[in-house]
Amino acid sequence: MKRMIALMLVAVMAMAVPMNTYAWTIDGNTPEAYTNRAKDSLGNVHGPTVMTNFFAGSIGSLFPVSPVATIDHETKVDVSWYNDAQSVVYVCDNNSYGPLAQKALYGVRDMFGAKNIAAITLNLFIFEGSLNKLVPSTTGNIQFMVQVPENVRSNYRDYAMLRLNADGTVSILPDLDDDAKTFTFETNYFATDDVYLMVYAAKGAFDAYKPAPVQPVIKQ
């Protein structure tokens, strides 16, 4: 029996600008080699560590950067003896989410004077043969990277993902990399009630939510 983990990201896009201002768009016929990639300020091209399929036209690049072994471990699936096992990312556009979700997210957004980039929901599924099961959360975080659209990209801006949780609270997920071209965040919630709103604000706006820098060890 074929076992497969599929990570389905259903994009609920709330765009601040027209789609055609992006560096490129994505559709179901675009080869993966030309989608799901992000280039950093040094010119290095980053690709996903799991197989991905994109079916979205509104976001340039969003993919898991955690190793597939980490995702397998977090979903408690052993695919070691299946040669055709794979993790798959699907991104689909959806242009609306509820007024209560909007009120909660926009209230936190406005506290930082931030602006919308895009809103998404993340659904994590385990596929086993013809059966699938939604995984609402994992013990550890799974890390994702997003390509920041060119029209909002700036060294003088900070980015964050505002996560609306199932209980109505909002968590602030800061950018974990220092590159203006990419946005990296971690999460462990994948229920359908969770909505993620990517925003940008002035440089330093989300510093209080970033992890403390690791101090170098000085040998005596």
Report the pLDDT value the prediction gives residue 169, as an integer from 0 to 100: 92
What pLDDT shows up at residue 206?
A: 96
Angle at 169 between CA 165 and CA 172, to 5 degrees: 80
* pLDDT for residue 13: 43
In the chain, domain spans: 3-209
Q: Which two tokens stand for residue 169?
A: 């609270």
> Pairing mode, if any, of strands 38-39 and 3-12?
unpaired
Residue 110 has pLDDT above 90, yes or no: yes
pTM score above 0.85: no
- The pLDDT of residue 171 is 95
Distance CA 155, CA 111 (A): 21
Q: What is the pLDDT of residues 182-197, one digit of tens each?
A: 899 999 988 777 788 8
Q: What is the pLDDT of residues 140-197, one digit of tens each?
A: 999 988 888 888 889 999 999 999 988 889 999 999 998 888 899 999 988 777 788 8
What is the four-CA torsion angle of 213, 145, 14, 12, rounded to 10 degrees? -120
Q: What is the pLDDT of residue 16?
A: 39
Q: What is the mean pLDDT of the chain?
A: 75
Distances (CA, A) of 87 to 12, 50, 196: 22, 6, 21
- The per-residue pLDDT for range 21-70, each reduced to its tens digit, is 333 343 444 455 555 677 777 888 777 777 666 666 666 677 788 887 78
